[in-house]
């Protein structure tokens, strides 16, 4: 979502801030801005709509010069995409604020501040923070005290960083609901919404906890917890490796990340399998004790991660002999749900910061769940820190907004979870060993699937001129069809819908004509014959089909059907393998359509507001 960077140093900070913004741009990217305090203690501010490059170009023309500054990339929530609405927001040219999250009581605060004489120039919720701190500073001698007084009045979520021209050596920051990390330097310190922004300047990080405020100057960092007690937070040495320019030979991060899947899955499996079973330790200390006691699994996630959860339901119920519900986090958190005895709550999230999923996890702690497990790609994320157990997917940094390797590594983790839970619920040794064997073949199968690249590129022109498309699958391939549809709409802007193929005759068949390409995910499994009947229903109505299938399934290409042979693989890993051709299809359609593949319009990588 939005990205924050702040720095206080002896050197000029604009370069550090801009580089940080570029590294965060994949998260949210409709406008960007920077503010520094110059030698004469004035604020210099530049904002631009569009990409960070537009801001960089503006700074090239009119350099800003200061050793303390804050910067922000925005993903609009309150107020349109304009320079006025871009952060930093100022109050009386003294206070500058950047903010991630949503201030829910901003309208009330706005009215109160207007009554006090403050003039608002933007439509954002953030501007109230700037004026509120300015107002509080009149009665508090210290900037940090003014911040503390201001945040006590805020409802909603915030990660915020504040500068004051009257106190020009300090950044004061507050976290509640939106992550902030402090970067510890030598004679300089930093703050950001994600450590990726600060990797060029430091490897030492302090993660703020919920309710923390911090006071940061060049040589010192003081942190106070939600009870206003001074606290020491651990300094963590980061081993994350992220090269901002790192598309390598690839045109886009998404294509690179598609091609990285064999290695990402290999990493996800590494050291977590014995010859015959999955090692409980893969899920963290105490996993076995928890898995032995659970009788139900509740999965919560959003978007692509939700699709991974849907596949897991098929696996858990059919192989681990345990009931499983899957729910979209934004629905789960706002309804009264029934908690079955001895339930395990599983959250799935690439980022570990998705607001709805995180809120659901927090909520579950008061609901009587036996324990929580997160399947996550970011070790330092809130979800990992706040869950009882964690399975790290080890996909490596995923920069493309469209999730690819995060999804296939989540599925890999969830298949391992099926064995880890199943072994306490009657899954016998042969069954465990058979899944392990299939998992061991997975990286090689994914390599074969990635090699379909050129063949799929050749299919893409058929889709690029279409406005709609339909994806069909059955069983555990139904969520894969949903994921294929999500990928296509997300990056090519073509309307795509997925249906369980058996549902076709209950309505969607009415849509079929030669203008509606139908993509069928058809591995050679026990549902193949049923699926073939659905294929015939489409054919009989003049539909044009693209069938992704195993040679042994015996589909043949003709006027109405294009068959693309996917490598033969064990049925249990087929959902993971069949994901790849669908990712490639959406990628190449987007290329023809000329969309912004890595940063599609209106979207953000990490959705930290609800």
Counting residues that bind ligand AGP (by CB under 6 A) gives 15
Least Å from the CB of residue 476 to ligand AGP: 18
Q: Which is nearer to ligand AGP, 304 or 562 (CB)?
A: 304
Dig out the tokens for 139 from the structure: 């009665």
Least Å from the CB of residue 334 to ligand AGP: 17
Q: Which is nearer to ligand AGP, 304 or 492 (CB)?
A: 304
The only residue of 193, 403, 492, 586 in contact with ligand AGP, by rule CB under 6 A: 403
> 175-211: buried (b, 16+ CB within 10 Å) or exposed (e) per residue?
bbbbbbbbbbbeebbbbbbbbbbbbebbebbbbbbee
Q: Which is nearer to ligand AGP, 89 or 405 (CB)?
A: 405
Helices marked H in 46-196 — which ranges?
52-61, 106-115, 127-139, 143-151
- Piece of the chain touching ligand AGP by CB under 6 A; list 165-173, 279-287, 343-351, 522-530: 343-351
Based on the residue annotation, tell me whether 605 is a catalytic residue of this protein. yes
Q: Does 381 bind ligand AGP (CB under 6 A)?
A: no
Helices marked H in 400-558 — which ranges?
405-422, 429-450, 453-459, 461-464, 478-492, 528-540
Q: Which is nearer to ligand AGP, 31 or 374 (CB)?
A: 374
Place of tokens 């911040």: 147
Give the 3-state DSSP-derived string for 574-610, with helices as H, strands as E and coil as C: HHHHHHHHHHHHHHHHHHHHCCCCCCCCCCCCCCCCC
Q: Does 402 bind ligand AGP (CB under 6 A)?
A: yes
Helices marked H in 346-452 — which ranges?
355-364, 382-386, 405-422, 429-450
Q: Does 31 bind ligand AGP (CB under 6 A)?
A: no
Q: Does 304 bind ligand AGP (CB under 6 A)?
A: yes
Q: Does 583 bind ligand AGP (CB under 6 A)?
A: no
- Piece of the chain touching ligand AGP by CB under 6 A; list 72-80, 193-201, 284-292, 297-305: 297-305
Q: Does 350 bind ligand AGP (CB under 6 A)?
A: yes
Q: Does 579 bind ligand AGP (CB under 6 A)?
A: no
Q: Does 305 bind ligand AGP (CB under 6 A)?
A: yes
User: Which residue out of 2, 302, 324, 376 is catalytically annotated?
Assistant: 2
The strand ranges marked E within 225-379 are 230-231, 236-237, 296-301, 323-328, 343-349, 371-376
Task: Identify the CA nearest to 34 among candidates 50, 14, 12, 20.
Answer: 14
Least Å from the CB of residue 301 to ligand AGP: 6
Least Å from the CB of residue 351 to ligand AGP: 3
HSE of 178, CA atoms in CB hemisphere, 13 A:
26
Least Å from the CB of residue 382 to ligand AGP: 11
Q: Does 176 bind ligand AGP (CB under 6 A)?
A: no
Q: Which long-range contacts (CB under 8 A, 24 or more apart) does 493-497 make?
A: 493/593, 493/595, 493/600, 493/601, 494/463, 494/466, 494/467, 494/468, 494/469, 494/589, 494/593, 495/467, 495/468, 495/469, 496/468, 496/469, 496/470, 496/471, 497/468, 497/469, 497/470, 497/471
Least Å from the CB of residue 392 to ligand AGP: 14
Q: Which is nearer to ligand AGP, 85 or 349 (CB)?
A: 349
Q: How many CB atoms lie within 10 A of CB 316?
A: 26
Q: Cα(67)–Cα(87) distance, rounded to whole angstroms?
A: 19
Helices marked H in 460-573 — which ranges?
461-464, 478-492, 528-540
Least Å from the CB of residue 5 to ligand AGP: 20
Q: Does 351 bind ligand AGP (CB under 6 A)?
A: yes
Q: Which is nearer to ligand AGP, 446 or 607 (CB)?
A: 607
Q: Residues 201, 183: contact at Cβ < 8 Å?
A: yes
Residues in region 455-494 near ligand AGP by CB under 6 A: 490
User: Which residue's CB comes closest to ligand AGP?
Assistant: 303
Secondary structure element (H or E) that encloses residue 520, with its range? strand 518-522
Q: Which is nearer to ligand AGP, 67 or 350 (CB)?
A: 350
CA distances from 364 to 111, 148, 211, 336, 387 (A): 36, 29, 20, 11, 10
Q: Does 409 bind ligand AGP (CB under 6 A)?
A: no
Based on the residue annotation, tell me whether 302 is a catalytic residue of this protein. no
Least Å from the CB of residue 349 to ligand AGP: 3
Q: Which is nearer to ligand AGP, 133 or 480 (CB)?
A: 480
Q: Does 401 bind ligand AGP (CB under 6 A)?
A: yes
- Piece of the chain touching ligand AGP by CB under 6 A; list 58-66, 146-154, 299-307, 515-523: 299-307
Least Å from the CB of residue 485 to ligand AGP: 11
User: Which residue out of 51, 256, 487, 605 is catalytically annotated?
Assistant: 605
Q: Which residues bind ligand AGP (CB under 6 A)?
A: 302-305, 349-351, 354, 357, 401-403, 490, 606-607
- What residues act catalytically? 2, 605
């Amino acid at each position: 979502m939005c990205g924050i960077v702040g720095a206080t140093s002896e050197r000029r900070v604009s370069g550090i801030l801009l580089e940080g913004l570029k590294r965060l741009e994949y998260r949210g990217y409709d406008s960007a801005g920077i503010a520094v305090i110059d030698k004469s203690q004035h604020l210099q501010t530049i904002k631009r709509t569009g990409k960070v490059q537009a801001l960089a170009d503006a700074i090239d023309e009119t350099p800003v010069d200061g050793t303390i500054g804050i910067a922000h990339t925005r993903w609009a929530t309150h107020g349109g995409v304009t320079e006025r609405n871009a952060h930093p927001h100022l109050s009386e040219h003294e206070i500058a604020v950047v903010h991630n999250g949503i201030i829910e009581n901003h309208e009330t605060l706005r009215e109160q501040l207007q009554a006090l004489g403050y003039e608002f120039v933007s439509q954002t919720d953030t501007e109230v923070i700037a004026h509120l701190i300015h107002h509080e500073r009149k009665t508090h001698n210290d900037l940090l005290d003014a911040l503390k007084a201001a945040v006590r009045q805020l409802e909603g979520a915030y990660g915020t960083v504040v500068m004051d021209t009257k106190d020009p050596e300090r950044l004061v920051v507050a976290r509640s609901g939106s992550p902030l990390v402090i970067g510890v330097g030598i004679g300089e310190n930093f703050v950001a919404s994600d450590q990726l922004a600060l990797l060029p300047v430091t490897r030492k990080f302090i993660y703020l906890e919920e309710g923390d405020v911090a006071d940061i100057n060049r040589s010192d960092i003081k942190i106070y917890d939600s009870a206003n007690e001074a606290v020491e937070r651990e300094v963590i040495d980061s081993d994350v490796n992220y090269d901002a320019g790192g598309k390598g030979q690839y045109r886009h991060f998404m294509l690179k990340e598609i091609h990285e899947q064999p290695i990402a899955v290999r990493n996800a499996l590494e050291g977590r399998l014995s010859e015959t079973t999955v090692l409980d330790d893969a899920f963290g200390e105490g996993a076995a004790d928890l898995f032995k006691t659970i009788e139900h699994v509740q999965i919560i996630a959003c978007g692509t991660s939700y699709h991974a959860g849907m596949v897991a339901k098929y696996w858990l119920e059919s192989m681990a002999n345990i009931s499983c519900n899957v729910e979209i986090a934004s629905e789960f958190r706002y309804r009264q749900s029934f908690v079955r005895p001895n339930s395990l709550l599983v959250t799935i999230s690439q980022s570990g910061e998705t607001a709805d999923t995180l809120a659901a996890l927090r909520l579950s702690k008061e609901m009587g769940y036996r324990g929580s497990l997160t399947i996550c790609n970011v070790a330092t994320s809130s979800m990992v820190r706040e869950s009882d157990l964690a399975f790290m997917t080890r996909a490596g940094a995923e920069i493309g907004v469209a999730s690819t390797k995060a999804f296939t590594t989540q599925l890999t983790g969830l298949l391992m979870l099926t064995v880890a839970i199943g072994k306490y619920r009657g899954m016998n040794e042969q069954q465990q060993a058979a899944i392990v064997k299939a998992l061991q073949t997975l990286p090689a199968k994914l390599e074969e699937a990635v090699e379909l690249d050129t063949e799929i590129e050749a299919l893409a022109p058929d889709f690029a001129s279409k406005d709609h498309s339909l994806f069909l699958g059955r069983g555990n391939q139904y969520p894969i069809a949903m994921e294929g549809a999500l990928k296509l709409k997300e990056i090519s802007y073509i309307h795509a819908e997925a249906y369980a193929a058996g549902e076709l005759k209950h309505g969607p068949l009415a849509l079929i004509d030669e203008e509606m390409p139908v993509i069928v995910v058809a591995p050679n499994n026990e549902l193949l014959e049923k699926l073939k009947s659905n294929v015939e229903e489409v054919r009989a109505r003049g539909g044009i089909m693209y069938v992704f299938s195993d040679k042994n399934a015996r589909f043949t290409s003709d006027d109405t059907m294009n068959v693309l042979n996917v490598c033969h693989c064990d049925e249990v890993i087929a959902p993971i393998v069949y994901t790849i051709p669908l990712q490639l299809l959406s990628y190449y359609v987007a290329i023809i359509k000329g969309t912004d593949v890595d940063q599609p319009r209106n979207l953000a990588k990490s959705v930290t507001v609800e």
